[in-house]
Every structure is written in C-alpha cells, then in structure tokens.
Amino acid sequence: MIAGVSKAVFSTLATSGVLKRLASRYGMRRPQSFARRFVAGETLAEAMAAAESLERQGLTVTIDHLGESLTASETALAATREYIDTIRVAAAAGISRNLSVKLTQIGLDVDRATATDHLRRILEAAVESDFFVRIDMEGSAYTAHTLDIFENLWGIGYRNVGVVIQSCLRRSADDVRRLNELGARVRLVKGAYREPKDVAFQVKEEVDARFVELMRVLVSQGVYPALATHDPAMIAATQQHATSQGIDKSRFEFQMLFGIRRDLQASLAAEGHPVRVYLPFGREWFPYFMRRLGERPANVGFVLKSLLREEAQP
C-alpha cells in the first residue's frame, strides 16, 4: 500500500509545472547534479558517452530519447526525426544497436495513423542500421493501441521490433501468450504507472507473483525475453527457473535502469548473464525522473539534499 501511495504521489508531482521549472534549472546544471543519477544527460552526445562507458564495463544499452504525450503533429514529427538521428549516430559510434520508443512521443495522442506512420519510418531506418526497436508500454489507456500498432507492423513483415508487457496489468497473461505465439520479443516489467483497481493489481505481492508467472512463460516459451527488474527476488526466481529447466543464460537477458543498482548490473554480467541498461537522455527528463522516485522513495532524500546544495551555490 505504501508503494502504491508513493507511486500516486509522484505521478501527480510529475505533472507539476513549478517543479519541472525548478528541476530544469538545477537538474542537469553540473556533472554531479541529482538528475544525472538516473538520466545520461540532455544531449545525444552525452548519451553516447554514457553508452560507451557502460559497454566498456561489459554491459549493453538500449537508448531512450525521453519525451511523451506530444499532441501536435509537428512536434511528433520532430521527435521521429530525432529518433532516426539517434539510430544513425549510435550506429556510427559502434554501440549497442537497440532503441526504445514511446508511441505518445511520435503521435499516438494525435491519432493512431500518425504514430503508426512515424514508427514505420523509425523501423525502416533501424533496418538499414541493423537496429532493434523496443516499443515502450505507457499507461493502461494506451495498452491496446500499442499492441495493435505493434501487431499491424509485425503483420506486414517488420521483425526488428519488440514490445513491453507490465505484470501489474490484469490482461498481461493473455498478451504474453499472444506475443509468444507471434514469436515476438517481450520486455517484462512490473509497471511504473498509477492504474485503477479494475485494470491493475494494487498490492506489491500480487504484482511480484504475476511477474514470476509471466517470467516463467517467457523464459520457457518466448523469444529472447528481457526481464527488466532490480528486485533481487525476481532475479533469483528467474535464475532458478532457467537452471531447473536447463535454459542457457544466453536465451534471455536482464535489463536495468541507468544509475540504479550498478553493483547488481556488474555482478550479473560477471556471472555471464547478458545485462542491458536502459539509457535515457533528453531535455524532457522530468516525468521519467519522477516515476523513478515513485518506484524507489528512498531516493527522495538524496534528491532533496542535492537540490539544497544546488540552491546554495552561485
């Protein structure tokens, strides 16, 4: 219940214009500023530098150009072009060819046709550079639209694309079965959005139990699934299931967020597990940052101390 309250509070704070202006003023001002714990930077160059550093440590990355809920065709088109530029720059830099995309950033709030067309342009650029594109899952109001768009593009032959499923949603077991039947690659997460009771499980223990159930189906029957979690219990459950079923470590990967549990990322990689870091960057970092705080309220003290230090410095 406490976790649910925290998520609700931070979901509300994420929409605060005052906090966003304050964060924009201080959040990325210095190399050690508080937001850089979770966000690689505001520019693509900063993201590339962070990616290269992670890959020297034996990790891989998926690049995420932050932004969401764009309602104007012009800004959605601009975001699409930025994704395509990201693909080209990352390919030239020789880093992991893996990209995460939010459909509301490329026009889903304009209309489905716009988002579909823009995603297709991104996938075409990704094919040229041998990139894999993961469609991020947003709030439950977008779940059906996201999966429909994914299946439409899958149906016309795009295979360099995967999608995300949230274990908190009551519908997810059916979605996982459908995606496994297609042969699609799935990233499994618990879910970072505040959702109504009729749509999502509200108690952590239920969300965790569903995560384990879906993980077992994906690891046993899926195509190179990604288990996105920092929870040692979920990681241990995955390792135990894979061992008991004789499933090699190379058949799935763990994914974690930039700046969170770096020790765990390193230890899993040292054990021979593929580990991919979700690497976000961009000027629209504040809503993402607030969702991360909602997931780990212990980080709030760290952020408040950082803000006070920034305010005190000229």
> Cβ distance 193 to 154 under 8 Å?
no
Among candidate residues 42, 20, 104, the one with its CA nearest the CA of residue 286: 20
- Helices within 94-203 (DSSP H only): 112-128, 143-155, 172-182
Find the helix or strand (DSSP H, E) in which 275 lies: strand 275-281
Which residue is catalytic, options 136, 210, 276, 291? 136
What residue type is 93 in one-letter code? A
Among candidate residues 169, 145, 132, the one with its CA nearest the CA of residue 255: 132
Q: Quickly list DSSP for 54-92.
A: HHHTT-EEEEEE------SHHHHHHHHHHHHHHHHHHHH
> Cβ distance 80 to 114 under 8 Å?
no
Catalytic residue at 185?
Answer: no
Q: Report in angstroms the alpha-carbon separations of 209 from 142, 190, 201.
A: 24, 10, 10
Which residue is catalytic, options 187, 210, 276, 292? 187
Catalytic residue at 296?
Answer: no
Among candidate residues 124, 59, 103, 94, the one with its CA nearest the CA of residue 261: 59
Q: Tell me the backbone φ, ψ of residue 73, rounded to 5 degrees.
A: -60, -40
| Rounded Cα distance, 232 and 78, in Å | 39
Which residues does the annotation mark as catalytic?
136, 187
